[in-house]
């Protein structure tokens, strides 16, 4: 979408603060149209792929896992980092097998989005999977999770109550509900 508004992208300085396995941190000095120069912290995050896996009965497969950054067990759809040179679709398929123990014969890209573009470059590729059968890959050695299948009608209530707080899971749910409405309207 191009509405004619283009913002000045004038980086006058850049300092690398940290290089890590999943992310890097830099501070850019940005010159604004007003003439002021302001620092902007940027988290350079590797892309990720997530999977909304919907069972034949309409249930949504999720995983409950401990997330150190928020010090909570978080209920979320399966997801993982896209390895360098890897197609995000392959990442989505691998994560579904590792985390949930399923393989899908019908998996398609739903959408892609930035998780928090105010400070992070992380892009998430969301896939929609159906027609699944059991096929387990070993989990990563730093993952401790349990698989749950939640009825679709319960997911919205769990989002509203705060039992589901993960943004990619909430995004996937609302994408799916919008798509279902389109399919039902076409019938």
What CATH number does the domain containing 147 carry? 3.90.79.10
Per-position b or e across 67-77, b if 16+ CB within 10 A of its CB: eeeeeeebbbb
Tokens of 11: 């980086």
Are residues 128 and 86 part of one domain?
yes
Region 100-119 average pLDDT = 96
- Judge whether 6 lies within some domain: no
- Judge whether 25 lies within some domain: yes
pLDDT of the residue at 144: 79
pLDDT of the residue at 4: 47
| Rounded-to-integer distance, Cα 187 and Cα 182, Å | 9
pLDDT of the residue at 3: 53
| Rounded-to-integer distance, Cα 181 and Cα 30, Å | 43
Residue spans of alpha helices (H) in 31-166: 88-95, 152-161
| Rounded-to-integer distance, Cα 74 and Cα 26, Å | 28
Q: Is the pLDDT of residue 9 over 80?
A: no
Q: At what angle do helices 167-186 and 152-161 cross, to 10 degrees?
A: 140
Are residues 161 and 137 part of one domain?
yes
Q: Of 79 and 142, which is predicted with more confidence?
A: 79
Q: Is the pLDDT of residue 162 over 70?
A: yes
pLDDT of the residue at 6: 54
User: Model's pTM, two decimal places?
Assistant: 0.89
Tokens of 178: 């919008």
Q: Domain range spanning residue 97?
A: 46-186
Domain count, the chain: 2
- The whole-chain average pLDDT of the chain stands at 92
Confidence grade of residue 182 (pLDDT, cut at 50, 70, 90): confident
pLDDT of the residue at 1: 52
């Amino acid at each position: 979408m191009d509405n004619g508004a283009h913002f000045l992208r004038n980086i006058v300085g850049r300092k690398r603060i940290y290089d890590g396995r999943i992310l890097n941190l830099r501070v850019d000095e940005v010159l604004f149209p007003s003439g002021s120069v302001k620092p902007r912290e940027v988290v350079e995050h590797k892309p990720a792929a997530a999977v909304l896996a919907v069972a034949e009965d309409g249930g949504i497969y999720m995983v409950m896992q401990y997330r150190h950054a928020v010090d909570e067990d978080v209920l979320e759809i399966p997801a993982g980092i896209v390895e360098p040179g890897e197609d995000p679709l392959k990442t989505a398929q691998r994560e579904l097998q590792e985390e949930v123990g399923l393989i899908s014969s019908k998996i398609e890209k739903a959408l892609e989005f930035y998780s928090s573009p105010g400070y992070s470059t992380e892009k998430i590729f969301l896939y929609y999977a159906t027609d699944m059968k059991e096929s387990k890959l070993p989990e990563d050695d730093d993952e401790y999770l349990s698989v749950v299948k939640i009825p679709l009608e319960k997911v919205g209530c769990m989002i509203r109550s705060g039992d589901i707080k993960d943004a990619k899971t909430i995004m996937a749910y609302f994408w799916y509900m919008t798509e279902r409405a389109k399919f039902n309207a076409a019938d």
